[in-house]
Amino acid sequence: TVFITMGASMKGMGAAGINADYENKRVVQVVSWFKKQGVYIIGVHIAGDDRRHHYLSEGMIDRVAPYCNLMLIAKSSDADGRFTTISKKQGIPMVLVEFEFDLVDVISKLFKLP
């Protein structure tokens, strides 16, 4: 199982010396490799609506979400229904959480942790 956050930061990529074109290609390669290996992919977006509408973040959603086995999404990140649409269209189960701290319970249940 791998968790992939679906978002991007120019500030973070710039600090790491990575440009958007390189990262976009790398994400496609990584997701493709995971799928070929049979890795269970959990896509996560908990940054909320205000951190979603950036061309890099939207591009990461396009490159990752359709290939997920499960999506863990903050309700505020799905305010426009984008993740709901992907979930229904691709048949991907999705768990909506109110707050990022709710993920502790969700992940504990997923992996049957005490």
Segment 64-91, tens digit of pLDDT: 999 999 999 999 999 999 999 999 999 9
Region 14-22 average pLDDT: 72
pLDDT at residue number 54: 66
CA distance 69 to 55: 24
- pLDDT above 70 as % of the chain: 86
pLDDT at residue number 53: 65
pLDDT at residue number 23: 80
pLDDT at residue number 80: 93
Segment 36-60, tens digit of pLDDT: 999 999 999 987 676 666 667 788 8
DSSP string, the chain: -EEEE----HHHHHHTT--HHHHHHHHHHHHHHHHHHT--EEEEE-S-GGGT-SHHHHHHHHHHGGG-SEEEEEGGGGTTSHHHHHHHHHT--EEEESSGGGHHHHHHHHTT--
Question: Which strand ranges, in their side-by-side order, compose the sheet holding 94-97?
Answer: 2-5, 41-45, 70-74, 94-97
pLDDT at residue number 36: 96
